[in-house]
Structure 1
Amino acid sequence: MNILWDFDGTLFDTYPAYTRTLSQVLGEGADNQEIYDKLKVSYSHAIEFYNISPEQVEENERLKKELSPLDMRPFDGVEEVLKFAGRNVIMTHKDRDGVLAILDHYGWTHYFADIVTIDDGFPRKPHPAAYQHLHTKNKIDLAIGDRDLDLLPAKELGIAACMFQGESDIADYHLDDFNDFFDEVIPLLKK
């Protein structure tokens, strides 16, 4: 089985760290749960919702660059799924250096046969171009993401889609914990 992974919020629990940086930029009175919820829709959604200035965006980006890989822990059980897969690939809007720093820190770079980042010039999700590129090269069987934005390109290409820690009408599978992957997703994929 070949799996296409989203990065933030799927492989790694990055949203708590991103919530902290955006909260710092917004200042006192910012509601962390609301920030988290807006970021889960998308970063651009949060920027628009809070009417963040270009200077604030720049400050947030600076703060995010100061984050350590220790601020972005992998989700429990995800490494067992990575080991199980025949081939793993990533499609993310994160920059390549940021992705590799985190993967290298956890010793996970070898799990991935291909990585497409924002640096590769593909249109942003939900445009399917990056997914099509990865699918053509790697014959993807399943895409896993934490937002509809991550699943829409897969569905457009006829690839099975799994929603991680969320609800989705377009997902073929839903998973709250990677420790349940082998009991909940694999049997359904075999049908």
Structure 2
Amino acid sequence: MNILWDFDGTLFDTYKVFTDVMHEVLGEDIHKDDIFKELKISFSHATTFFELTNKQILEFKEKEKTVSPELKQPFPYVEDVLKKAKLNVIMTHKPRVEVQTILDFYNWNHYFVEIVAGDDGFKRKPDSASYEYLHNKYDLDIAIGDRVLDIIPAKKIGLHTCLFQNEAKGADFYLHTYKDFFDKVRI
């Protein structure tokens, strides 16, 4: 199986870190659950929802970069899926250097034949250009993400879709844990 992966919230459990950092930036008045909920839609959505200034957005990005990769752990059992896949690619909005830092820390570079990162010049999801590029090059079977934003471009180009830890309508498959991947995802 040839798999396109989202990065944050799909391969790595990073939203706890994002939530904590945004909570620091916003202050104590906003509950972390509310921050998490808005971040899971998208970072740009959360910045608009909470009315962050450009200065606060920069502060968030700088603080988040300083958090150790050790606190951005891979989800349990995801490595089992990576090992069994024929090939894996990543499409993320995260800057390449940040992706590489985390992959280097966990020694996971060898699992991915290509990474399309946020600073590679493609339009942001839900635009499908980056997915089309990867699909044309690698004949992908499925796209896995944690947000509807991750599956919209996959649906547009005819890929199977899987939402991870998200029950929103529209995906072909749903997983709460990667332990169930090979039982639930059949292509």
TM class, shorter-length = over 0.9
Pairing 1:103-114 to 2, within 5 Å after superposition: 103-114=103-114
Cross-structure match for 1:19: 19
Uncovered stretches (5+) of structure 2, i.e. residues with no partner: none
TM-score in terms of structure 1 length = 0.97
Matched, 1:143 2:134: no
CA distance in 1, matches of 2:28, 2:165: 29
The letter of the residue matching 1:146 is D
Give the Å deviation of 1:93: 0.1
Which has the larger displacement, 4-13 or 56-65? 56-65
Uncovered stretches (5+) of structure 1, i.e. residues with no partner: none
Give the Å deviation of 1:65: 1.0
Cross-structure match for 1:67: 67
Q: Matched residue of 1:123: which SS?
A: coil
Matched, 1:98 2:85: no
CA distance in 2, matches of 1:17, 1:151: 23
Cross-structure match for 2:165: 165
Give the Å deviation of 1:182: 1.1
CA distance in 1, matches of 2:27, 2:174: 35
The letter of the residue matching 1:144 is I
Q: Matched residue of 2:134: which SS?
A: helix
Which has the larger displacement, 166-175 or 106-115? 166-175
CA distance in 2, matches of 1:159, 1:78: 20
Q: Matched residue of 2:19: which SS?
A: helix
Which has the larger displacement, 7-16 or 28-37? 28-37
The letter of the residue matching 1:29 is D
Cross-structure match for 1:31: 31
Q: Matched residue of 2:8: which SS?
A: coil
Aligned residues: 187
The letter of the residue matching 1:35 is I
Cross-structure match for 2:82: 82
Cross-structure match for 2:8: 8
Deviations 1:146-165 (A, max 9, x none): 00100000000000000100
Cross-structure match for 2:128: 128
Q: Matched residue of 1:59: which SS?
A: helix
Matched residues, percent identical? 51
TM-score in terms of structure 2 length = 0.99
